[in-house]
Structure 1
Amino acid sequence: MKFKNITIIKIKGNIKNRILILCFTATLLSLSACKKYLDIIPDNVATIDNAFTMRTEAEKYLFTCYSFLPKDGDPLYNVGFLSGDELWIPTQEWEFVSYAWRGARGGQNAANPYMNAWQGNFQGGGPGDLYGLWKGIRNCNIFLDNVKDETKVRDLRADERARWIAEVTFLKAYYHFYLLRMYGPIPLVDKNIDISAPEADVRIKRMPFDECVTFISSLLDEAAVNLPPIITDRTTELGRITKPVALAVKAKLLLMAASPLFNGNPDYTSFKDNDGVSLFPATFSADKWKNAADAAKIAIDAAELAGAKLYQFPGSTFKLSDTTNLQLTLRCAITERWNVEHIWANPNSRTDFLQRTAMPKLAAGGASGDARMQLAAPLKIAEMFYSSNGVPINEDKLINFSNKYTLRTALKSERFFVKEGYETSRLNFDREARFYADLGFDGGVWYKYDSPSNSDENTWVVEGKYTQLAGATHVGFYNETGYYLKKVVDWNMTNSTNGVSYRDYPWPQIRLADLYLMYAEALNESQGPVNNVFEYVDRIRKRAGLKGVVEAWNSFSNNPTKPTTKDGLREIIHQERGIEMAFEGSRYWDLKRWKKAAEVFNQPITGWSVFQANTADYYRPRTIYTQNFVAPRDYLAPIRNYDITVNPKLVQNPGW
Structure 2
Amino acid sequence: MKIKIMFLGLAVMLFAGCKKILNPEPEDLKSLDQMYTDVNFAQGFLVTAYRNIPGYYDNSEYATDDAVTNQLSNGYLQLATGSWSSQNNPASTWNQCYEAMQYLNLFLENSNKVKWAADPEAAKLFNLRMRGEAFGLRGLFMYYLLRNHGGVAANGQLLGVPIITQYQTIDAQFNVPRASFDACVKQVYKDLDSAELYLPVEYNDIANASQIPDRYKKYTSNFDTYNRVMGQYGRQLFNGLIAKTIRTRTALLAASPAFQNSANPATWADAAGYAAAIINYKGGVAALPATGVTYYANASEIDNLASGNNPPEIIWRENIVTNDATQENQNFPTSINGANATGAGFMNPSQNLVDAFPMANGYPIDNAASGYNAAAPYAGRDPRFAKYIIYNGSTAGVSNTVIKTGTTAGTGDGINERPGFSTRTGYYMKKRLRMDVNRNSVGANGKTHYTPRMRYTEMYLAYAEAANEAYGPTGVGTQAYSAYDVIKAIRKRALGINSDPYLEEVKGDQGKMRELIRNERRLELCFESFRFWDLRRWKVDITKLNETVRGMDVNGTVYTPLNSVETRAYQNYMYYGPIPNSEILKYNTLLQNANWK
Within 5 A, what are the aligned runs for 1:232-271?
A: 232=204, 237-264=234-261
Contact 2:361 2:500 (C-alpha < 8 Å) held by counterparts: no
Q: Per-residue CA shift, 1:362-413, capped at 9, x if unaligned?
A: 44854433x6012101110110111111121112414044xx2x4xxxxxxx
Whole-Å Cα distance in 2 between the matches of residues 300 and 609 of structure 1? 42
| Worse overlay, 566-575 or 352-361 | 352-361
3-state SS in 1 of match to 2:191: helix
TM-score under structure 2 normalisation? 0.81
Aligned equivalents of 2:54, 2:317: Cα separation in 1: 12
1:300 aligns with 2:240: no
Partner SS state of residue 166, structure 2: strand
Distance in 2, Cα, partners of 1:573 & 1:42: 59
1:187 maps to amino acid? P
Aligned to 2:593: 653
Measure, in 2, the Cα distance between the counterparts of 1:142 and 1:512. Answer: 33
User: Unaligned 5+ residue runs, structure 1?
Assistant: 8-22, 30-40, 120-131, 265-280, 314-326, 407-425, 452-458, 555-559
- How many residue pairs end up in the alignment? 529
Whether the aligned pair in 1 keeps the contact of 2:36 and 2:113 (CA below 8 Å) is no
Match of 2:391 among 422, 441, 445: 441
Code of the residue aligned with 1:534 in structure 2: it is Y
What is the alpha-carbon distance in structure 2 between the residues aligned to residue 333 and residue 253 of structure 1? 33
Deviations 1:478-509 (A, max 9, x none): 11101111011023312444463332422212
Instruction: Specify the SS of the correspondent of 1:340.
Output: coil
Shift of 1:521: 0.9
Three-state SS of the structure 2 residue aligned to 1:493 is coil
Other structure's SS at 1:157 match: helix
CA distance in structure 2 between the aligned counterparts of 1:296 and 1:86, rounded to whole angstroms = 26
2:325 aligned with 1:382? no
**How far is the alpha carbon of 1:150 from its aligned partner?**
3.8
Secondary structure in structure 1 of the residue aligned to 2:404 = coil
Distance across 1 between alignment mates of 2:432 and 2:146: 27
Tell me the CA shift for residue 339 of structure 1: 1.3
Residue 202 of structure 1: CA displacement?
3.4
With structure 1 as the length reference, what TM-score do the two structures score?
Answer: 0.74
Give 1:52 deviation, angstroms: 3.5
| Residues 172-227 of structure 1, C-alpha deviations (whole Å, 9 max, x = no match) | 11111101000101011111366545xxx431210000111011011112101222
Question: Could you tell me which residue of structure 1 aligns to residue 29 of structure 2?
Answer: 45
The aligned amino acid for 1:80 is S
| Aligned mates of 1:349, 1:496 — CA distance in 2 | 20
Instruction: State the Cα distance separating 1:520 from its structure 2 match.
Output: 1.1
CA contact (8 A) 2:314 2:452 kept: yes
Cα deviations across residues 310-359 of structure 1 (Å, max 9, x unaligned)? 1439xxxxxxxxxxxxx857853999463111111133999843332221
| 2:68 matched residue in structure 1 | 88
1:463 and 2:407 equivalent? no
Give unpaired runs (5+ residues) of structure 2: 13-24, 151-159, 206-230, 475-480
Secondary structure in 2 matching 1:608: strand
State the secondary structure of the residue aligned to 1:386: coil
Partner deviation per Cα, 1:521-580 (whole Å, 9 max, x = no partner)? 1111111122521221122112113446863445xxxxx3x2202112111111111111
Distance 1:488 1:650 in 2: 39
Contact 2:359 2:370 in 1 (8 A): no
Amino acid at match of 1:388: A
Shift of 1:154: 5.8
Q: Give the distance between the partners of 1:193 and 1:574, measured in 2 at CA.
A: 41
Residues 89-104 of structure 1: pairs in structure 2 closer than 5 A: 89-90=69-70, 93=72, 97-104=73-80
> In proportion to residue count, which structure has more helix?
2
Q: Is the 8 A contact 1:303 1:343 kept in 2?
A: no
CA distance in 2, matches of 1:536, 1:27: 50
Q: Which residue in 2 is equivalent to 1:355?
A: 328
Within-5 A mapping of 1:129-140? 132-140=96-104
Shift in Å, 1:600 = 1.6
Offset at residue 235 of structure 1 (A): 8.2
Q: Aligned letter for 2:525?
A: M
Is the aligned partner of 1:629 residue 2:548? no
Q: What is the root-mean-square deviation in Å for CA atoms of aligned residues? A: 3.2
Whether contact under 8 Å (2:7, 2:29) holds in the other structure is no
Hey, what does 1:72 align to over in structure 2?
56
* SS of residue in 2 equivalent to 1:600: helix
Quick one: which amino acid aligns to residue 291 of structure 1? D
Q: 1:538 aligns with which of 488, 491, 499?
A: 488
1:142 to 83, 102, 106: 106
CA contact (8 A) 1:609 1:622 kept: no
Write the distance in 2 (CA, Å) between the matches of 1:620 and 1:288. Answer: 42
Amino acid aligned to 1:174? L
Deviation readout 1:127-154 (Å, 9 max, x if unpaired): xxxxx2110110111111111x246546
Letter in 2 for 1:524: N
Q: Which amino acid aligns with 1:118?
A: W
1:252/1:367 CA distance change after superposition, 3 Å: closer
Separation in 1 of the partners of 2:294 and 2:503? Answer: 26
Which residue number in structure 2 is paired with residue 603 of structure 1?
547
One-letter amino acid of the structure 1 residue matched with residue 273 of structure 2: D
Partner amino acid, structure 1, of 2:344 = R
Name the CA distance, whole Å, in 1 between partners of 2:128 and 2:392. Answer: 54
Preserved CA contact (<8 Å) 1:163 1:226: yes
CA 395–42 in structure 1, closer or farther in 2 if over 3 Å, else same = farther
Aligned residues of 2:431 and 2:527 also touching (Cα < 8 A): yes
Call closer, same or farther: CA 1:208–1:263 in 2, change over 3 Å: same
Say if 1:349 and 1:507, in contact at 8 Å, map to a contact too: no
Which is bigger in relative contact order (C-alpha 8 A, separation at least 6)?
2
Q: Which AA in structure 2 matches 1:241?
A: F
Deviation by residue 1:615-639 (Cα, 9 ceiling, x = unmatched): 46773424112112111x1111222
State the alpha-carbon separation in 1 of the partners of residues 186 and 564 from structure 2.
44
Structure 1 equivalent of residue 208 of structure 2:
none
- Partners in 1 of 2:348 and 2:533 — Cα distance? 19
* Distance in 1 between residues matched to 2:419 and 2:367, nearest whole Å: 39
Q: Specify which of 444, 448, 473 is matched with residue 529 of structure 1.
A: 473
Contact 1:183–1:638 at 8 Å: present in 2 too?
yes
Q: AA paired with 2:352?
A: K
* Distance (Å, rounded) in 2 between the aligned partners of 1:587 and 1:549: 29
The aligned counterpart of 1:506 is 450
Partner of 2:20: none
- TM-superposition CA deviations, 1:599-623 (whole Å, max 9, x none): 322111111248xxx5467734241
Cα 1:163–1:282, aligned 2, differ >3 Å: closer, same or farther? closer
- Asked if structure 1 preserves the Cα contact closer than 8 Å seen for 2:289 and 2:313, the reply is yes
Q: Which residue is 1:17 aligned to?
A: none
Aligned partners of 2:31 and 2:300: how far apart in 1? 39
Q: Separation in 1 of the partners of 2:338 and 2:76? A: 32
Distance apart, 1:157 and its partner CA: 1.7
Q: Distance in 2 between matches of 1:26 and 1:181?
A: 29
